[in-house]
């Protein structure tokens, strides 16, 4: 078998994930693999692993569980494989139906690895720093007032946008909040990242896709609005006009196991986001 030691991470306090996890554990052990199983607790920022070496990390849950596990497990060279128990599951590769057949093929080495870009962020001066897999979002938290966001991309001229916020997203995160906010979709393996503004004032502001070598500096022109940074939809950090947000592509990449025929367009079709034929308009659908 291609893998020997597997870590199973389950959605927290989810009976369906627990039952499926036990079934997958027995299935893997029947092939002679060593398996350790964890429930992804909402508390804590790391998952302590007892196995001396891990070849594969299997996550059972939705994309939220997948993101949480990736943020807590600091094993950048170990690939992740997701079982989707959520609604969309862009990051998860396997569905509950036919999982044994699909997993068996992966264990035999019939898979491809998708290498994904991560963001490195730092709040200056002397603020928090870390990694983001999907996105870093600067947004207001209090009254419904606009932010005045100052942006500098590399050596380009600084510019100011008045908006509800800005999403700095990875290719993986382009199908998350950025997609809902009308931003562009990036193919997952592209070595670039993007900016998309949330409800800009008076006129549309274009989204930007920048090379992986770009360095962003973001500040607030005004201190009149309560503001926060949200990392991957899971971590909140207070932010004010005295601080600066620095973002660049991390040197680290993360790996996702995919079936050989898997692709972004095929996932869009399966999940009903893309259709081969136009959907006829009907006032009944309004």
274 half-sphere exposure, CB direction, 13 A CA radius = 10
Tell me, yes or no, if 63 is annotated catalytic: yes
Torsion of CA 68, 149, 124, 138, to 10 degrees: -10
Question: Using CA atoms, how far apart are residues 157 and 151, in angstroms rounded to an integer?
Answer: 9
* Count of beta carbons in the 10 Å neighbourhood of residue 73: 22
Q: Which residue is catalytic, options 14, 50, 63, 102?
A: 63
Question: Using CA atoms, how far apart are residues 59 and 85, in angstroms rounded to an integer?
Answer: 10
Question: Using CA atoms, how far apart are residues 266 and 94, in angstroms rounded to an integer?
Answer: 13
Q: Which two tokens stand for residue 21?
A: 């996890």
Burial of 242 (0-12, 13-18, 19+ CB in 10 A): exposed
The catalytic residue positions are 63
């Amino acid at each position: 078998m291609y893998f020997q030691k597997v870590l199973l991470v389950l959605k927290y306090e989810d009976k369906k994930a627990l039952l499926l996890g036990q079934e997958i554990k027995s299935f893997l052990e029947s092939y002679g693999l060593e398996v350790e199983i964890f429930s992804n607790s909402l508390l804590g920022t790391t998952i302590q692993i007892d196995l001396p070496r891990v070849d594969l990390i299997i996550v059972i849950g939705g994309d939220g569980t997948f993101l949480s596990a990736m943020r807590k497990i600091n094993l950048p060279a170990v690939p992740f494989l997701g079982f989707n128990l959520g609604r969309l599951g862009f990051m998860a590769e396997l569905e509950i139906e036919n999982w044994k057949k699909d997993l068996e093929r992966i264990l035999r080495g019939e898979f491809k690895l998708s290498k994904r870009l991560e963001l490195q962020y730092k709040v200056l001066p002397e603020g928090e720093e870390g990694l983001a897999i999907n996105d870093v979002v600067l947004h207001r938290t209090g009254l419904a007032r606009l932010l005045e966001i100052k942006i500098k991309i590399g050596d380009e001229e600084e510019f100011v946008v008045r908006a509800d916020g800005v999403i700095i997203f990875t290719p993986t995160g382009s199908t998350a909040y950025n997609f809902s906010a009308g931003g562009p979709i990036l193919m997952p393996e592209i070595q670039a990242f993007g900016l998309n503004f949330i409800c800009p004032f008076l006129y549309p502001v274009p989204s930007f896709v920048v090379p992986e070598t770009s360095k962003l500096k973001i500040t607030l022109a005004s201190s009149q609005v309560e503001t926060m940074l949200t990392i991957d939809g899971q971590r909140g950090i207070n932010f004010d006009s005295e601080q600066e947000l620095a973002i660049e592509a991390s040197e680290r990449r993360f790996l996702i196991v995919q079936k050989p025929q898997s692709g972004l367009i095929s996932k869009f079709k399966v999940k009903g986001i893309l259709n081969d034929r136009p959907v006829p308009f009907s006032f009944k659908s309004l």
